[in-house]
Amino acid sequence: MNDDPPPIDPTPEALQKEVLKLRRRVGRLETHLEDVETVRDTNLRFLDRVSGELAIEKARSRSLLLNVLPEAIVERLDGGERLIADRYDDVAVVFSDFVGFTEISGRLEVGELVSSLNGLFTAFDASCLERGVEKIKTIGDAYMAAAGLPGTRSDHVAAAADLALAMRAAVRDAGDPWHVRIGVHRGPVVAGVIGTSKFVYDLWGDAVNLASRLETTAPTDQIQVSESVAAALGDAFELEPRGAIELKGKGSTETFLLIRRREVETPSDPLARMDR
């Protein structure tokens, strides 16, 4: 069997026909190539658009997660970690509750109530962000935050105290009928993420329970802190001893009222004294 191509007729007419055939073949190939390039470009544009939309959705999903979970926890979830459970030895927990909220909710119009509550909690959130404290959750009209978790300030007890003062100031600025009680305690906690369709990052432990008890027994518009918190704050804050009070599940407990952060005294200029 002979597979060799048939011999080409060397006459000018035959050569011209072969050239025309080659041109037509080349033209068809070029057309096919253009079609392939068009399809390729279309697919690349489609892939770029899909990739862009995917990046936007991932960013939106991450933003939503950051609204309910600390950034460090989101990073761990993105890394594939499914069971988030940690123990921390020293966390300062801030717990607040509005005084007479049930009566307030029955007196105000629904829109006014939700708007006022949202305004106060938004101010609390901003104060957490400004002071490097992690908001944990709201429960009805109660608000819980913690300092001393990863990503928060190293001077976490002072940060918790500053947050409590800022929260009280925000409520005072809101005026009647809003009043608040705040409790602050420090100690070990267990932290973790629970839930699947609705994630919740929460804290458990004695520090949480005692902070809640301190809030419940605090005078109206006052910040009640434990003895360990008062000791950590030292002279940087003005504290008023309240004495021993009975706390549910704890018995007689020494407590203090947090009044304010002391002003930092700037050293006087010796040259200025000489000028006088």
- Catalytic positions, please? 213, 248
Q: Which residue has the tokens 């936007």?
A: 56
Contacting residues for 78 by C-beta, under 8 A, at least 6 apart = 62
* Residue 93, C-beta contacts closer than 8 angstroms, at least 6 positions apart: 144, 145, 146, 160, 184, 185, 186, 187, 189, 203, 207, 208, 211
**For the CA atoms of the chain, what is the radius of gyration?**
35
Helix or strand (DSSP H, E) at 87: strand 85-98
Cα–Cα nearest to 216, from 191, 250, 259, 241: 250
